[in-house]
Amino acid sequence: MRTPSVRYRIFRIGNLVFLTLLSLTMILPFINVLAQSLSSSEAIMGGKVSFWPVAFTWINYEYVFGDASFWRAFAVSVGVTLFGTLVNLAATASLAYPVSRPEYKGRSVVVMFVLITVVFSAPLIPNFILMKELHLVNNPLVLIVPGAINAFNFFVMRSFFAQLPGELIDAARIDGCGEFGIIWRIVIPLSKPAMASLGIFYAVGHWNAYSTALYYLNDPAWWPIQVTLKKLFESDDISVDAGSAVYSTLAHTSPEGIKMATIIIATLPIIIIYPFLQKHFVKGIMVGSVKS
């Protein structure tokens, strides 16, 4: 076995140092936010918190967990993420499958229209008028329907489907399986890596939905967690009704501590779910990107 050259070793060490420093720029801010969320209001306001909690306390989380508006926004985000991701995957697969098959004569036209959406994006005001005419303004479906198919994800899934053996599809047709049966019984089960990786993309996009909700949803009852977090950061102080369940904890918290705790809770679902789908993530993207 040939030993690596000196230049290669230097490159690997330099690459490792660079990636470590790059990782720290992303990890340290998160650690700082976590430390502040677990620190007392005096320590936060005094600027004493860096990367370790000062005067450790759960009071900020007690306030957030007792806030009804937070749970309402959290439920909206969970619902939109779950339902929206299912709609995205179903719509993307339904369009990508026929375009991936050579017997479909109109596939070049479909691909051209999808490419047009990549090159030309509608400005905000025409988009708003369109959403209004479709009765999607102040309708939670505006977070799901307009973005049912993402162009990048469509091309990845089309490439993955194109690599499936044509003989398998032909055999299913000979056995009397219809096109929808082929998709849901054969194509989708064989495309789990691609579906998992694209599912992550769609789920993260829905969970981080901000601008769409801000533009088109006026009712706070339909605001997802990101919009609620933005409104929280716009406020300099926290005010609740005297009869609220979190009123007793308000005197022991600070606006900054509550904001930091909300950030951590809003980030946790993606951090928890990602490791379970990570093994499919790289495989799905790599395999789906080999063939264009």
Structure confidence at residue 282 as a pLDDT band (50, 70, 90): low
The rounded distance, in Å, linking the Cα atoms of 292 and 288 is: 8
- Considering the segment(s) 67-290 as one domain, its CATH architecture is Orthogonal Bundle (1.10)
pLDDT at 175: 76
| pLDDT over 80 at 36, yes or no | yes
| pLDDT over 90 at 83, yes or no | yes
pLDDT at 283: 57
Query: For residue range 266-279, what is the model confidence (pLDDT) as tens digits?
Result: 888 888 877 776 66
The rounded distance, in Å, linking the Cα atoms of 86 and 91 is: 8
Domain boundaries, the chain: 6-45, 67-290
**Long-range contacts from 98-103, C-beta under 8 angstroms, 24+ separation:** 98/179, 99/158, 100/158, 100/159, 100/161, 100/162, 100/164, 101/161, 101/166, 101/169, 102/166
Give me the residue label for tokens 């993260």. 204
| pLDDT over 90 at 208, yes or no | no
| pLDDT over 70 at 64, yes or no | yes
| pLDDT over 90 at 181, yes or no | no
pLDDT at 237: 57
Average pLDDT, the chain: 80
Structure tokens at 127: 């988009």
Is 121 or 81 the better-scoring residue by pLDDT?
81
Of 78-92, 125-139, 196-210, 212-226, which one has max mean pLDDT?
A: 78-92
Mean pLDDT of 137-149: 87
pLDDT at 80: 92
Rounded to 10 deg, the angle between the 192-207 and 255-290 helix axes is: 150
- Amino acid in position 112: M
| pLDDT over 50 at 247, yes or no | no
